[in-house]
Amino acid sequence: MTTLTEALDALVAAARAAGLDEAAARAEGEAVAATVSERSRGAFVDWCAQTGRERSAEEHMLAAKRGNRFRAGPTPLMAQLLLEKSAASADYAGALADVALAGSALGEPGPDAVGAATTVTTAQLGGGATGLTPSASAPGAFDLPTRQPVPGLGDQVLDQVRRVGEQVRRQLGALNDAAPPLPSPTLTSDAPTPVDASQPADGVQTQAAQPETPPAEEPKPEEPTKTVEELLAELDGLIGLANVKGEIHRQAAVLRVEGLRKKAGLESPTITRHLVFNGNPGTGKTTVARLVAGIYRALGLLTKGQLVEVDRSELVAGYLGQTAAKTAEVVKSAEGGVLFIDEAYSLSGDQYGKEAIDTLVKEMEDKREDLVVIVAGYPLPMAIFISENPGLESRFRTTIDFADYTDDELAAIFESMVKGADYDAGEPVLARLREILGAAERGPSFGNARFVRNLMEAAIGRHAWRLRDVAEPTLEQLRALEPEDLVVDPNDEAPAEPAAEGEVVAPADAPPAEPVDPFGDDATVARKPKDPQAETPEEES
Residue 280 within a domain = yes
Last residue of a domain, one of 436, 462, 485: 485
> CA 100, CA 34: separation in Å to the nearest integer?
9
pLDDT tier, 82 (very low <50, low <70, confident <90, very high otherwise): confident
| pLDDT above 80 (res 452) | yes
Kindly state whether residues 58 and 171 are assigned to the same domain.
yes
In a shared domain, residues 395 and 460: no
Contact, 522 vs 38, CB < 8 A? Answer: yes
Q: Let me know whether 264 and 296 are in one domain.
A: yes
| Domain co-membership, 161 together with 275 | no
CA distance 521 to 454: 13
pLDDT digits (tens, 9 = 90+) for 469-526: 888 888 898 889 999 998 875 444 334 444 444 444 444 444 443 333 333 333 333 3
| Contact call for residues 111 and 458 (beta carbons, < 8 A) | yes
What pTM was computed for the model? 0.66
219: in domain: no
Are 144 and 57 within one domain? yes
Q: At 229, is the pLDDT very low, low, confident or very high (cuts 50, 70, 90)?
A: very high
At how many degrees (to 10) do helices 57-67 and 22-37 cross?
100
Residue 149 resides in a domain: yes
Single-letter amino acid code for the residue at 303: T
* Average pLDDT estimate for 304-333: 89
366 or 134, higher pLDDT: 366
- Which of 347, 367, 402 is where one domain is finished? 402
Residue 387 belongs to domain with CATH number? 3.40.50.300
CATH number (domain holding residue 468): 1.10.8.60
* Cβ–Cβ under 8 Å, residues 89 and 78: yes
Domain-embedded: residue 310? yes
Residues 250 and 111 in one domain: no
Number of domains in the chain: 3
Residues in the chain: 541
78 has pLDDT over 60: yes
Q: Give me the pLDDT at residue 482, please.
A: 93
Torsion angle, alpha carbons of 484, 488, 494, 500, to 10 = -80
Residues 164 and 25 reside in one and the same domain:
yes
Same domain, 354 and 247: yes
What is the three-state SS of 174-229?
Answer: HHHHHCCCCCCCCCCCCCCCCCCCCCCHHHHHHHHCCCCCCCCCCCCCCCCCCCHH
Let me know if residue 61 belongs to a domain: yes
Give the end of a domain, one of 382, 402, 422: 402
Same-domain status, 19 and 81 = yes
Q: Do 163 and 311 sit in the same domain of this protein?
A: no
Residue 94 and residue 145 share a domain: yes
C-beta separation of 79 from 306 below 8 A: yes
Rounded mean pLDDT, 129-142: 33
Same domain for 334 and 278, yes or no, is yes
Please write the tens of the pLDDT for every residue from 377-413: 998 899 889 988 888 888 898 899 999 999 999 999 9
Structural domain of residue 441, as residue ranges?
Answer: 413-485
Q: Give the Cβ contact number of residue 127 at 10 Å.
A: 17
Is residue 480 helix, strand or coil?
strand
